[in-house]
Structure formats: structure tokens, C-alpha cells
Amino acid sequence: MVVVMLRGCPESNIEDVIERIHHHPGLSAHLVRGVERTVVGVVGQTFPELKDMLEMLPGVEAVLPISKPYKLSSREFQVEDTTFKVGDVTIGGPDLVVMAGPCAVESEEQVVATARAVKAAGAHILRGGAFKPSTSPYSFRGKGKEGLEILAVARQETGLPIITEVMAPGDVELVAEYTDVLQVGTRNMQNYILLDEVGKANKPVMLKRGFAATIQEWLLSAEYILSQGNRRLMLCERGIRTFETYTRNTMDVSAVPVIHKESHLPVIGDPSHGTGKWDLVTPLALAVVAAGADGLLIEVHPTPDTALKDGAQSLTFENFQRLMEKVAVVAQAVGRPLAPNLAGSATRR
Ligand code: PEP
Ligand code: MN
């Protein structure tokens, strides 16, 4: 449930409400100060008398139930969109943000060249996997810590913030030392121990949709992260498994407006994994931008045909440049212009 505070009520009223909630074992309070209203979310094992108890406290305007099983991630809990900064760009703000880079970190040369190319084309965040989840144990599983070090060099060289995947709860601390955003991959969307850990980390998180997860399951996974106190969370639609085999996954474009309706969390579209085919990446990127996505995640490689991972869905530098030109037009048309190109900014920091 949410406790809606009276506009302009003294701070002590809010503190009293939070204290009263924490007095009950199994309940936690989550404060959100919106422009329109300040609310305290109550999650955990609520009980029938709680509503009346909280409603009697000074400064409380109303106590409203949240009808959905996901609470902190729901629009009912927080009316305003979640926004937060990654480096100099704002996720969930008025501008569209683009994250781009190779599927996997292979070498310093590969990552730095890609970072420079995607930055020049207008990308805002560099992606690249150091810890790679793989369907087969025989395919490339990433360079681990060395991969994180390479990403750090690319950040140093270009000034682009980094997003990279963390696969194991025990690696969260290490990965968080290097990255600006922690990515939770599709296969780990329901790894609840990992979700708890990234929820405790002091870094923004991107939670990819499980390839066989419903939107409700996805938002319940988001709930794990939010309930640990990490509010800097974005979601990523990366395609789901359907009966169709032509594409690697079926890009669920409808998930974008559904998430915006159900949740205040930003949603990123990943047409690279969503289609698995490089020539389908641009059309689906345009579709998710038109559908209101807050950003894009695009795989780019200097030579896709020699890529150790996901070459078939990776764009060349030239094709990425073309994608960005088209995205800029659609983004403008739907009132979500591309965030400013950082290419003119300092290359080192
Ligand atoms: C990736 O981003 O390279 C990745 C492994 O994505 P997903 O978890 O969506 O398969
Ligand atoms: Mn990939």
C-alpha cells in the first residue's frame, strides 16, 4: 500500500510514518518525494488493521492499496517517471539514450576502436560483455576481469560510461568497481540472489527481460532490486521466445508501452538480441523508438564476421552510423529527440 502525505506536511510527520511501518517486522517503508506528492510505500506482509493505523497518523492524506503484485515498480506507487544519470546523460528523461558496443570484449583494440566509432556516431554509453552467459559451455565465455580492465581503458579513452553484465552474486562487487551500470542478463532475470545483490549495489542496474518471462514476472524481478533500496533501475526488452524460428527471438515491441503504462521505470529496446539478424536491427530499433522506448542497446563490432559472439546480429561501424541517422529522425518525430552527441566533448577525463 502507499501512504500519501498531505502536501507541505512537516518532515516529522513523514519520519513518524516511516518509523511506525518499520516497527512491524516484515514491513519496509520506501519514501518517494515526487513533484506532485510525497508517498511512503509499504511493502511486505501487510495486515488488515494497518490501513486504519496509518490513516490516523498526523500528516497522512490517504492510505491506498496497490492492486498489482508488483508494488515499488508500479505506476500506482510512483506516478512520475524514474529518471537517473549515467555519466552526463539522463536515463528516462526527455531524450533518447543509445548504448552500443560489442557483444563480448575480445581485445583492447577491438573495444577502443568500437568505443570511438559509436561515440562519433552519437552513442552515449559503451556496452561490452566481460562475463558472458552462453547457451553452450563451448562458446566464448568472456575475458572476465581482464575484460573489465579493457572496458575501463575504453572509458578512459573516450569518456563514455560503461554498461556490462554481472552473472554471479559474488561478482557484483568486482564488476561494480569497473562499470557505470550493472546489466542483469535474460538468463538471470529470475536469479533472485543476484537481484538482491545488485539491489544493494551503489550502481544503476539494467534488468533484461527473461526470454520466457511474462511482463508481470519481469516487474516482480524488478521488485527484488527496488526493495533492496536501489532505485536507479531500467528495464530492457530483448525479445522473447515464441514459435517463430526465423528470428532468434520475437521482439515484443508492445512491451514498451505496456511497461510505461504499468511502471515508472525506463525501458530500453535491444533489437540486436530481439532479432538476432543484423539487417533486422535497424527496423526494430525504429519500431521501439516509435513505441516510446527510453533508449536503445545495439551490438556493434569492427568486423562482425570474425566476432567471437553474436556476429550475425552485430552492426559494422558504417551500419551503426546509418542506424543512428534513421533513429534521429524517428526520435524527433515522436518527440523523444536523441540525447546530445558527446563526440564534441573531451576524449579523456
Ligand atoms: C548481451 O547483452 O550480450 C546478452 C547476453 O544479452 P541477453 O542477456 O539479453 O541475451
Ligand atoms: Mn550479445
* pTM of the complete model: 0.95
pLDDT at 347 over 80: no
Q: What is the pLDDT of residue 296?
A: 99
Q: What is the atom index within ligand 1 of the atom nearest the CA of 183?
A: 2
Q: Whose CA is nearest to atom 8 of ligand 1?
A: 185
Measured CA to CA in angstroms, residue 218 lies from 13, 76, 92, 185, 265 at distances of: 34, 17, 18, 12, 12
Taking Cα atoms as reference points, which of 79, 76, 68 lies closest to residue 37?
79
Mean pLDDT of the chain: 96
* Per-residue 3-state assignment (H helix, E strand, C coil) for the chain: CEEEECCCCCHHHHHHHHHHHHCCCCEEEEEEECCCCEEEEEEECCCHHHHHHHHCCCCEEEEECCCCCCCCCECCCCCCCCCEEECCEEECCCCEEEEEECCECCCHHHHHHHHHHHHHHCCCEEECECCCCCCCCCCCCCCCHHHHHHHHHHHHHHCCCEEEECCCHHHHHHHHHHCCEEEECHHHCCCHHHHHHHHHCCCCEEEECCCCCCHHHHHHHHHHHHHCCCCCEEEEECCECCCCCCCCCECCCCHHHHHHHHECCCEEECHHHHHCCHHHHHHHHHHHHHCCCCEEEEEECCCHHHCCCCHHHCECHHHHHHHHHHHHHHHHHCCCCECCCHHHCCCCC
Q: What is the atom index within ligand 1 of the atom nearest the CA of 133?
A: 5
Please tell me the distance between residue 273's alpha carbon and the centre of ligand 1 in angstroms: 7
Please tell me the distance between residue 204's alpha carbon and the centre of ligand 2 in angstroms: 20
Reading the block at residue 72, the C-alpha cell is 515499488
Question: What pLDDT digit, counting tens, does each position of 50-100 carry?
Answer: 999 999 999 999 999 998 999 999 999 999 999 999 999 999 999 999 999
Q: Which residues line ligand 1 (CB under 6 A)?
A: 103, 129, 133, 185-186, 208, 238, 273
Please tell me the distance between residue 270's alpha carbon and the centre of ligand 1 in angstroms: 9
Question: What pLDDT digit, counting tens, does each position of 151-188 carry?
Answer: 999 999 999 999 999 999 999 999 999 999 999 999 99
Beta bridge partner(s), residue 104: 129
Q: What is the pLDDT of residue 134?
A: 87
Measured CA to CA in angstroms, residue 42 lies from 29, 64, 98 at distances of: 5, 10, 34
- Determine how many CB atoms are found less than 10 A away from the CB of residue 205: 25
Q: Which domains does the chain carry?
A: 2-64 (3.30.70.1140), 84-333 (3.20.20.70)
pLDDT at 112 over 90: yes
Amino acid identity, position 157: E
Measured CA to CA in angstroms, residue 295 lies from 51, 143, 272 at distances of: 39, 27, 13
* Cα 216 to chain centroid, rounded: 16
Mutate to test the pocket of ligand 1, among 164, 186, 298, 299 (most ligand atoms within 8 A of CB): 186
Ligand with the closest atom to the CA of 248: 1
pLDDT at 342 over 90: no
- Tell me the mean pLDDT in the region 38-45: 93
Q: What is the atom index within ligand 1 of the atom nearest the CA of 186?
A: 8
Question: What pLDDT digit, counting tens, does each position of 255-290 carry?
Answer: 999 999 999 999 999 999 999 999 999 999 999 999
pLDDT band at residue 344, thresholds of 50, 70 and 90?
confident
CA neighbours closer than 13 Å in the CB half-sphere of residue 25: 0
pLDDT band at residue 349, thresholds of 50, 70 and 90?
very low
Please tell me the distance between residue 93's alpha carbon and the centre of ligand 1 in angstroms: 24
